[in-house]
Amino acid sequence: MITTLEDKINTYNMNYDTVVDINTLKDLNNKLFCTFTDLEGLDVLIEDITTKYDIIYNKLFVLEIIGKDEYVVTYNVDQTNLNAIPDNTILVHRKKESNTLYTINALNELIKKLNGGVVDVKYRVDWQHYKNCVLLTQHNELSQLNTKIYKIIDL
């Protein structure tokens, strides 16, 4: 079975979305990391994250991607001890009212799709149409990954 995890080099085909060099990131405060894995690698990933990083808010959220053998772990990391980023990690933003995670590139693509091909920063997205999902760009196209909570880990 082929998953998005098998394409290790620039998995999401968008340099802006994939974190490859921590030195290019300036303000990591309140930035949410989203790391992709399969069920087999989940426990190792969680152990790796919790031993290497100071997790802000002391929570990890593990989401199952519906219809795939893939999971995402979301977490905030204290930037003072950030030396490396796990593979298959993207920076995301979150709309709390709809539990939508999204990258800036995906938001721009969504607005273009909904607004006749025009990116307008004033365009209002109805986030209720994108409840419980991750929006990202994959192979230069908008991709919507529907999710459900697998588990919440209190540290």
pLDDT of residue 10: 39
pLDDT of residue 81: 64
CB 73 within 8 A of CB 152: no
Distance (Å, whole) CA 87 – CA 69: 17
pLDDT of residue 13: 36
Q: What is the residue type of 87? A: D
pLDDT of residue 29: 57
In a structure prediction context, what are the per-residue pLDDT tens digits for the chain, which is 155 residues long?
A: 344 444 444 343 333 354 545 454 555 455 789 999 999 999 999 999 999 888 989 999 999 999 999 999 999 987 766 777 888 999 899 999 999 999 999 999 999 999 999 999 999 999 999 999 999 998 889 999 999 999 999 99
Cα–Cα distance list, 15 to 4, 8, 139 (Å): 16, 13, 11
Distance (Å, whole) CA 130 – CA 145: 10
